[in-house]
């Protein structure tokens, strides 16, 4: 198990067939995830493609995440929380300045991802909309208003992804107070060769298996 300290980030390789388990050890903590194909980092995890193909804003167990080239990057194979965001870019100095009116903001997930992805040759401009694990964004279907609410994750809850290609993954412990209920906590992750299920599965967590084709929906 690897721990990402509060308000920081990590980048690592994952191989096709391996599993990435992202755990919120203390609860109510967001983790922004981005991914790039190891073979060609011009290919990256795409919110716009994934949401279009799922026809849903909220992705969970049984859903598939696609690249900008419409290739399969991840399957979500287990999810104890069931609410994540895939519409917003990582928080940044500019986020804190523009939305929250901070005069001298420190950096956020954007700057943390820039730092950890730089050794992989990925420039700041290429950090896309993240899959924001555990981020709870409520949408009003009439007005389109979006509100960032405290995450639904409780201590120890996790989400598990199966990698479908070799990738460089960037992952953070989010620095935005609004998305963490104003407590800044760590995030844990594991890259696993196999995955037998979540310990809490019996208590109602959703798990899924995927055939070689598209998930049944």
- Alpha carbon distance 135, 106 (integer Å): 21
- Alpha carbon distance 93, 19 (integer Å): 32
Six-digit token string for 6: 């509060």
- In 3D, which of 131, 159, 124 has the Cα closest to residue 47? 131
**Does 2 engage in binding with a second copy (CB under 8 A)?**
no
Q: Binding residue for a second copy (CB under 8 A) from 94, 102, 118, 154?
A: 94
Give whichever of 100 and 182 is closer to a second copy, judged by the CB atom: 100
Six-digit token string for 77: 């194979």
Q: What is the largest CA-CA distance in the chain?
A: 51
Q: Binding residue for a second copy (CB under 8 A) from 5, 15, 16, 52?
A: 52
Q: Which of residues 104-133 bind a second copy (CB under 8 A)?
A: 123, 125, 128-129
Query: Which of these segments, 21-29, 112-120, 136-144, 198-206, binds a second copy (CB under 8 A)?
Result: 136-144
**Does 139 engage in binding with a second copy (CB under 8 A)?**
yes
**Does 214 engage in binding with a second copy (CB under 8 A)?**
yes
Could you report how far apart the first and last alpha carbons of the chain are, in Å?
A: 32
Give whichever of 23 and 31 is closer to a second copy, judged by the CB atom: 31
């Amino acid at each position: 198990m690897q721990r990402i300290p509060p308000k920081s980030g990590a980048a690592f390789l994952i191989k096709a067939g391996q599993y990435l388990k992202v755990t919120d050890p203390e609860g109510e903590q967001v983790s922004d995830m981005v991914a790039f194909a190891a073979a060609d980092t011009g290919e990256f995890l795409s919110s716009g493609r994934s949401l279009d193909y799922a026809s849903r804003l909220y992705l969970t167990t049984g859903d598939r995440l696609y690249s900008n080239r419409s290739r399969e990057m991840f399957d979500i194979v287990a999810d104890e929380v069931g609410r994540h965001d895939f519409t917003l870019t990582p928080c940044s100095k500019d986020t804190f300045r523009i939305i929250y009116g901070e005069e001298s903001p420190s950096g956020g997930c954007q700057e943390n991802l820039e730092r950890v992805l730089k050794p992989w040759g990925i420039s700041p401009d290429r950090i896309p909309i993240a899959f924001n694990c555990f981020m709870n964004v409520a949408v009003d279907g009439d007005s389109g208003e979006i509100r960032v609410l405290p995450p639904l994750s409780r201590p120890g809850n996790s989400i598990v992804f199966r990698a479908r290609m070799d990738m460089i993954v960037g992952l953070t412990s989010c620095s935005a107070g609004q998305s963490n209920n104003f407590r800044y906590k760590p995030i844990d992750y594991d890259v696993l060769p196999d995955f037998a299920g979540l310990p809490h599965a019996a208590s109602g967590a959703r798990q899924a298996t995927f055939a070689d084709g598209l998930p049944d929906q």
